[in-house]
Amino acid sequence: GPDACPLRGAAWGAGGGAVALALAFLPPPLLLLLLVVPGGSYRPVVIVHGLFDSPSDFRHLRAFINESHPGTEVTVLDLFDRGASLRPLWVQVEGFRRALAPIMANAADGVHLLGYSQGGLICRALLATMPDHNVHSFISLAAPQMGQYGDTDYLKWLFPRHMKSNLYRLCYTPLGQGVSICNYWNDPHHRELYLNSSDFLALLNDERLHPNASDWKRNLLRIQSLVLIGGPDDGVITPWQSSLFGFYDANETVQEMRAQAVYLQDTFGLKTLEARGDLGGCAVPGVGHTAWHSNRSVYEHCIRPWLT
């Protein structure tokens, strides 16, 4: 279908997707220098990796941050690496919460949280379920925030006998929900099965009613900024607009974020964040899925401005 993403260009801010150059958020270099005192005065940055990744994959991003924001404490949480990243997402959320809590407790001014790919969903679940978190900016880097529905190399390797059209038969079972990918598998042709069987995404989006929904929404809204980053040449996130909260309708036509029921009904706070002016991000062409965290331009324009 037509590209319905309103976020074309370098960066966007609140107000109907009006383009706001990310650089506008940067203090003058002089001010940056004045802010750097011994020990560093930038908030710590915590990174949650994606499927089949491990902390070593983020050495470029760590270097970019250390170069532009000297003294920043950067932590890539070393849990559920490689094959263990297939564990159920709620199990991973619990593990990452235990690792994140002491870092937040030691950060008087809060932390920035960056989740890459599957890690972006884990981060959103962390924010929803931690009532006392002190995350300032939540940066969602090429994450399938509205789910995944596509034939990718990952899928062929994991489920060689399934294609996107029939994976629902496996994913929407208790057995399937024991695999991380199935926790956010969102088949637009089997909506009822998704709503009834998805133990993770349908709950996180409050698409299936649950008693914690209002608490989770209030917790998520403690953040100061939600930054969504993705692009049309990602090659893995399908549709790529899922990284910007767009997704397929029943005809596999992409509907952008502002047409989604979860936005219109503000089920978990997305519309509130935009109304507050706290929703930003980038739609960047020319970046493949595994290159997001090592791309200098993506860092400078889409990540660095939010790491205050």
Residue 178 within any structural domain of the chain: no
Residue 166 within any structural domain of the chain: no
- So what's the pLDDT on residue 40? 55
What is the Cα–Cα distance from 65 to 290, expressed in whole angstroms?
18
What is the Cα–Cα distance from 242 to 246, expressed in whole angstroms?
5
Which residue from 34, 7, 50, 83 is spatially nearest to 301, judged by alpha carbons?
7
- So what's the pLDDT on residue 155? 81
Q: Annotated catalytic sites, by residue?
A: 117, 234, 289
At residue 5, does pLDDT exceed 50? no
Rounded mean pLDDT of the chain? 90
Burial 118-155 (b: 16+ CB within 10 A, else e): bbbbbbbbbbbbbeebbbbbbbbbbbbbbbbbbebeeb
Mean pLDDT of 256-277: 98
What is the Cα–Cα distance from 104 to 99, expressed in whole angstroms?
9
- So what's the pLDDT on residue 264? 98
Domain that holds residue 50: 9-142+209-243+266-306
Q: What is the CA radius of gyration of the chain?
A: 18
Length in residues, the chain: 308
Mean pLDDT of 197-221: 97
Which residue from 206, 243, 242, 250 is spatially nearest to 228, judged by alpha carbons?
243
Structural contact between residues 268 and 209, judged by C-beta atoms closer than 8 angstroms: no
DSSP string, 174-228: TTGGGSHHHHTB--TT-HHHHHHH-SSHHHHTTSS--TTHHHHHHHHTT-SEEEE
Residue 105 within any structural domain of the chain: yes
Domain count for the chain: 1
Residue 138 within any structural domain of the chain: yes
Most confident range, picked from 9-13, 153-157, 255-259: 255-259
Handedness of CA 224, 260, 186, 219 (dihedral sign): positive
Residue 156 within any structural domain of the chain: no
- So what's the pLDDT on residue 7? 41
At residue 300, does pLDDT exceed 80? yes
Amino acid at 58: F
What is the Cα–Cα distance from 274 to 305, expressed in whole angstroms?
18
CATH number at residue 233: 3.40.50.1820
Residue 271 within any structural domain of the chain: yes
What is the Cα–Cα distance from 190 to 182, expressed in whole angstroms?
14
Q: How confident is the model at residue 140 (pLDDT cuts 50, 70, 90)?
A: very high
Residue 235 within any structural domain of the chain: yes
Helices (H), 52-197: 59-68, 89-105, 118-129, 153-158, 168-171, 180-183, 191-197
At residue 26, does pLDDT exceed 50? no
Residue 160 within any structural domain of the chain: no
